[in-house]
Amino acid sequence: MKTFFLDEDKIDKSSVIPVYYQLASLLKKQIFEGKLQPGEALPPENDLAARYEMSRMTVRRAISELVSAGLVYTQKGVGTFVSKPKLDNVVFELNDFFEEIRKRNMEPSTKLLTVKIVKADQELAKKLEINAGTRCLYFRMVLSADDEPLVYENKYIVFSKQKPILETELKDPSLSNLASVHSDQRPSISKKVLSASVATESEAKYLGLPVKAPVFVVEQTVYDPEKKPIGWGTSIYRGDRYKLTSYTGWSTESL
Amino acid sequence: MKTFFLDEDKIDKSSVIPVYYQLASLLKKQIFEGKLQPGEALPPENDLAARYEMSRMTVRRAISELVSAGLVYTQKGVGTFVSKPKLDNVVFELNDFFEEIRKRNMEPSTKLLTVKIVKADQELAKKLEINAGTRCLYFRMVLSADDEPLVYENKYIVFSKQKPILETELKDPSLSNLASVHSDQRPSISKKVLSASVATESEAKYLGLPVKAPVFVVEQTVYDPEKKPIGWGTSIYRGDRYKLTSYTGWSTESL
DNA sequence: AAGTGGTCTAGACCACTCC
DNA sequence: GAGTGGTCTAGACCACTTC
């Protein structure tokens, strides 16, 4: 027989801190300290409700916090169990360039190298699921932080409405924004593919890199709600400046 | 005055499908179809509860589904509003090698090239926050799928207990697993850094690539609960085989 | 049959925002 | 002060798992 509930009454029902949050923190603590080991069952919800003198709904709210944090999982008719930490499944974030740069207290800028109407060649026609020769809007630009070039981009939008290029849209030159301005359809899904490559001659030139220097390539396709492509482009990220970092696991933070 | 509630009574309270789920789907549909535009407010919770004849708690459960899906956000004392889709903030998943390969119906395998005890040099000592010369366990291996080499790995574990290398642990040669077996501390946090590079001579040899072929490099550090490093390693992924794909946005799926 | 988590109700009080 | 979302209660019935 195992004894739970050794911790004193740590729930302060008159506190401004929600009761469910206090209980969630208390359970988290027991997990981090190893009092509740991975695979082990939490006390039943009714027991927790009785012990901490709160309603079962409030207990459930607390547990649902742990579930979404990935600390525990539930099994219908069986119980709630502590998860094993998954340290090898990680996610890398790649956020909007302007947001990311500003977050680092640097000044992002866009240099528009080319903007014109082109006829789609075979490759582009295939990417955008249109006929070769169809007219597309073409953008070529360099994104910089504090005047240091970091990203070189080529973008194509299916050309469906005549509209001038506005100065303002260079404030957000993302493919999804360009597509929403220059297309009839509003973009609703975006696909990005990240790969490793080496800089071509022109890429190296605009990024101030030696030819064949390592780079990240992000190929993006933007679709309308009917899953029809409305924009396609590639972004070349300097390999010497860009790294994607990710942390996973249980941390004693957030108590 | 805007008219909500035009949809007929689509809530079937006797259905096996939970009521909160039905309401969530109904609201999702209105958002996808544009009947509820980004920035626009959802009807107040009390109104929804009255209209669909359910308790407010159930309405809140439905809305909380939309919140965690990123479709809406709430403001205390103000209301619940439809979010703007963020198409340029994406996450790339990089999961456990064995899981990923099996998911693709291929057979993963590990070839252990080297395992021995080494004295830490300056660089390794810095990474593991130990003194140079401290003994570490060193692993060098190639991970393959259907006998095609895909990843080349070098890993170091702080050497704290004498323990034989077991055949079974090559079934999961991840740094976190090796660290948990060969260290006194259990690993609890993992940091991974993804960068683009080109293959060195030895990397190219083991991966069957030309020298200077593009590769992904993942540098991983595993920490114990006190944030002390207990393992460090690098993984070289073939750039011609590995791509990270990500989808974001609103999709009509999941209704 | 007993125990578990999943859903749902019909109220209640609160803090917050806006006018 | 009116309206909003955030929290909480004390019940209830259900489907599921285990014995």
Mean pLDDT of B199-225: 95
The residues facing B149 across adjacent strands are: B144
Q: Hey, which residues 123-142 in chain B have their CB within 8 Å of chain A? A: none
**B178: confidence class by pLDDT, cuts 50, 70, 90:** confident
Residue A121, pLDDT > 70, answer: yes
A62-115 tens-digit pLDDT: 999 999 999 999 999 999 999 988 888 899 999 999 989 999 999 999 999 998
Residue A160 vs residues A136, A153, A224, A233: alpha-carbon distances, Å: 8, 22, 13, 17
Topology annotation, domain A91-247: Chorismate lyase (3.40.1410)
Cβ-based neighbours of A157, under 8 Å, separated by 6 or more: A136, A137, A139, A175, A178, A179, A182, A183, A230, A231
Asked if the Cβ of residue B60 lies within 7 A of any atom of strand C, the reply is: no
**B141: confidence class by pLDDT, cuts 50, 70, 90:** very high
The residues facing B230 across adjacent strands are: none
Residue B255, pLDDT > 80, answer: no
The proportion of chain A whose per-residue pLDDT surpasses 70, expressed as a percent, equals 91
Mean pLDDT of B98-114: 92
> How many residues in total does chain B contain?
255
Q: Which nucleotide is nearest to A55 (CA to C1')?
A: D9
Mean pLDDT of B115-129: 93
Cα A104 to Cα B185: distance, rounded to the nearest angstrom: 35
Q: Are the Cβ atoms of B188 and A251 closer than 8 angstroms? A: yes
CB contacts of B236 in chain A (<8 Å) are: none
Residue where the block lists tokens 């990203």: A151
Q: What is the pLDDT of residue B252?
A: 55
> How many residues in total does chain A contain?
255
Cα B45 to Cα B197: distance, rounded to the nearest angstrom: 53
Mean pLDDT of A53-63: 97
Q: Which of A199, A192, A243 is nearest to A219 (CA)?
A: A192
Range name among A66-80, A228-242, B154-168, B172-186 with the lowest pLDDT average: B154-168
Name the average pLDDT for chain A: 89
The proportion of chain B whose per-residue pLDDT surpasses 70, expressed as a percent, equals 91
How would you write chain B as a 3-class SS string? Answer: CCCCCCCCCCCCCCCCCCHHHHHHHHHHHHHHCCCCCCCCECCCHHHHHHHCCCCHHHHHHHHHHHHHCCCEEEECCCEEEECCCCCCCEEEEECCHHHHHHHCCCCEEEEEEEEEEEECCHHHHHHHCCCCCCEEEEEEEEEEECCEEEEEEEEEEECCCCCCCCHHHHHCCCHHHHHHHHCCCCCCEEEEEEEEEECCHHHHHHHCCCCCCEEEEEEEEEECCCCCEEEEEEEEEECCCCCEEEEEECCCCCC
Question: Residue type for B215, please?
Answer: V
Using the C1' atom of nucleotide C2, identify the protein residue whose alpha carbon is closest.
A77
A205-245 tens-digit pLDDT: 999 999 999 999 999 999 988 889 999 999 999 999 999 99
Cα A159 to Cα A134: distance, rounded to the nearest angstrom: 8
Residue where the block lists tokens 């899906």: B69
Cα A153 to Cα A140: distance, rounded to the nearest angstrom: 6
Residue B254, pLDDT > 60, answer: no
**Quick check: A250 contacting B, CB < 8 Å?**
yes
Q: What is the pLDDT of residue A7?
A: 56
CB-nearest partner of A93 from B91, B215, B225: B91
Residue B179 vs residues A45, A144, B5, B117, B168: alpha-carbon distances, Å: 35, 41, 57, 14, 14
**B162: confidence class by pLDDT, cuts 50, 70, 90:** low
**B166: confidence class by pLDDT, cuts 50, 70, 90:** low
**B126: confidence class by pLDDT, cuts 50, 70, 90:** very high
Q: Best interface-test mutation with B: which of A35, A55, A88 has the largest number of B CBs within 10 A?
A: A88
3-class state of residue A191 by DSSP: strand
Q: Are the Cβ atoms of A222 and B93 closer than 8 angstroms? A: no
Q: What is the pLDDT of residue B250?
A: 74
Q: What is the pLDDT of residue B34?
A: 85
For the A19-82 domain, the top CATH level (class) is mainly alpha
A33-52 tens-digit pLDDT: 888 999 999 999 999 999 99
The percent of chain A in helix, strand and coil, each rounded to the nearest 5, is: 25, 35, 40
| Pairs of residues, one from chain A and one from chain B, whose beta carbons lie less than 8 Å apart | 166
Mean pLDDT of B198-217: 96
Residue B6, pLDDT > 70, answer: no
- Rounded to two decimals, the pTM is 0.86
Q: What is the pLDDT of residue A123?
A: 94
Mean pLDDT of B28-41: 91
Nucleotides of D under 7 A from a protein CB: 3-12, 15-18
Mean pLDDT of B199-221: 96
CB-nearest partner of A244 from B85, B176, B194: B194
Cα B123 to Cα B119: distance, rounded to the nearest angstrom: 11
Long-range interactions of B11-18: CB distance < 8 A, separation 24+: B11/B52, B11/B53, B11/B54, B13/B53, B13/B54
Residue spans of the domains in chain A: they are 19-82, 91-247
B64-89 tens-digit pLDDT: 999 999 999 999 999 999 998 888 88
**A251: confidence class by pLDDT, cuts 50, 70, 90:** low
CA angle, A218 as apex, A213 and A220 as ends, to 5°?
155
A169-193 tens-digit pLDDT: 677 788 988 888 877 778 888 999 9
- For residue A147, the Cα-to-chain-centroid distance in whole angstroms is 26
Name the average pLDDT for chain B: 89
Q: How far is the CA of A57 from the C1' of C4 (A)?
A: 15
